[in-house]
């Protein structure tokens, strides 16, 4: 809460907007010189607690969360992240009060309609929107609006926003198994062809996004809540910042990606060193002879001049 108050005070300083935009461009350009994750996933937790902290209506907390999503998406797109997934609604969330469910559904559709139609955000950024989850649980009027938005953005290829809605990992895995069983029954797939790749191809993602490089769950809760359990099981960084989702904006996103990029760079350097150690001197010379800092490896050593010993 104190950080939010301080930021609001600083933002009110004349000329701050210009300085802030300049600084953001500067640090984005720095980060783009290193490795950038292909797939980042967010558990947008903390909207209700944000509303309670600031004595706001619950609907306003979810609205602020939707605004935060726009800032996070813009940061990811500017840095070159290709795939982003957000946990918009868990199947277990159907246990919440119906007015809150209706609020979340309406906010989701209105925000998606806004970025895909009203302000042409998706067209400008070449952003495709795709729903992953059990569509049979989505009310018909909401599903029709979502399908219209998906169709409108289907031609964009640069970036994809996957919206887990409604979703759980257990349901995702169950869905994949059912798809595979159906294909085996129809003769489209043989039993001995079933492997991990087939399971991944039949997830709601349909094999599009690949593994998750970074998974972020805001609000400080250190649990995954049945989300992306398969996709983040290997070589994935999982972050649990204490920041509530409406407060998780550009700088929080930048810092998360910066840490990943830094450690990824170290991993790549270590891997290269280990690979070089396995090469022969001739292969090293062939690969790196044009590198400006390269020095030809010493393969033959000559004995230094012998010291003369004179006895007195």
Q: For strands 127-132 and 83-87, give the pairing.
A: unpaired
- Beta pairing class for 159-164 and 237-239: unpaired
Query: For the segment 191-239, what is each residue's pLDDT rounded down to a tens digit?
Result: 999 999 999 999 999 999 889 999 999 999 999 999 999 999 888 999 9
The model's pLDDT over 61-93, given as tens digits with 9 standing for 90+, comes to: 999 999 999 999 999 999 999 999 999 999 999
- At residue 305, the pLDDT reads 58
What is the pLDDT at residue 306?
54
What's the pTM?
0.83
Which domain range does residue 133 map to? 34-167+204-273
Question: What's residue 18's pLDDT?
Answer: 86
Answer whether residue 5 is part of any domain: no
Residue 201: is it exposed, middle or buried by C-beta count within 10 angstroms (0-12/13-18/19+)?
Answer: middle
171: which residues sit within 8 A by CB, 6+ positions away?
91, 133, 134
Stretches in the chain below the pLDDT threshold 70: 1-12, 119, 276-277, 279, 284, 288-312
Active site residues: 45, 93
Q: Provide the number of structural domains found in the chain.
A: 1
Q: Is residue 110 part of a domain?
A: yes
> Does residue 132 form part of some domain?
yes
295 occurs within a structural domain: no
**In a domain? residue 182:** no
Asked if residues 44 and 88 have their Cβ atoms less than 8 Å apart, the reply is yes
Rounded distance between C-alpha atoms, residue 244 and residue 18, angstroms: 26
Q: Give domain status of residue 16, yes or no.
A: no
Distance CA 12, CA 29 (A): 26
Residue 208 lies in a domain: yes
Domain with residue 127: its CATH number is 3.40.1180.10
Is position 302 within any domain? no
């Amino acid at each position: 809460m104190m950080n939010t108050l301080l930021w609001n005070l600083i933002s009110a300083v004349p000329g701050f907007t210009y300085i802030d935009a300049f600084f953001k461009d500067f640090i984005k350009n720095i980060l783009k010189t290193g490795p950038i994750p292909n797939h980042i996933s967010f558990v947008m937790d903390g909207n209700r607690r944000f509303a309670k902290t600031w004595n706001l209506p619950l609907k306003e907390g979810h609205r602020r969360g939707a605004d935060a999503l726009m800032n996070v998406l813009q940061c990811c797109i500017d840095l070159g992240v290709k795939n982003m997934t957000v946990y918009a609604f868990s199947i277990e969330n159907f246990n919440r009060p119906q007015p809150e469910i209706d609020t979340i559904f309406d906010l989701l559709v209105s925000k998606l309609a806004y970025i895909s139609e009203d302000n042409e955000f998706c067209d400008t950024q070449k952003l495709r929107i795709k729903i992953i989850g059990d569509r049979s649980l989505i009310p018909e009027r909401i599903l029709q609006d979502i399908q219209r938005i998906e169709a409108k953005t289907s031609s964009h290829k640069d970036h994809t926003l996957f919206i887990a809605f409604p979703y759980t990992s257990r349901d995702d895995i169950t869905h994949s198994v059912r798809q595979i069983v159906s294909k085996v029954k129809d003769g489209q797939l043989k039993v001995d062809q079933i492997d991990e790749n087939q399971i991944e191809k039949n997830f709601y993602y349909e094999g599009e996004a690949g593994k998750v490089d970074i998974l972020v769950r805001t609000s400080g809760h250190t649990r995954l809540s049945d989300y992306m359990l398969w996709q983040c099981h290997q070589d994935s960084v999982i972050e649990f910042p204490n920041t509530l989702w409406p407060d998780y904006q550009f700088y929080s996103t930048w810092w998360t990606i910066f840490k990943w990029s830094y450690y990824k760079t170290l991993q790549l350097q270590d891997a290269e060193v280990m690979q070089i150690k396995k090469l022969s001197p001739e292969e090293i010379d062939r690969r790196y002879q044009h590198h400006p800092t390269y020095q030809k490896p010493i393969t033959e050593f000559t004995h230094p001049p012998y010291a003369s010993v004179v006895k007195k």
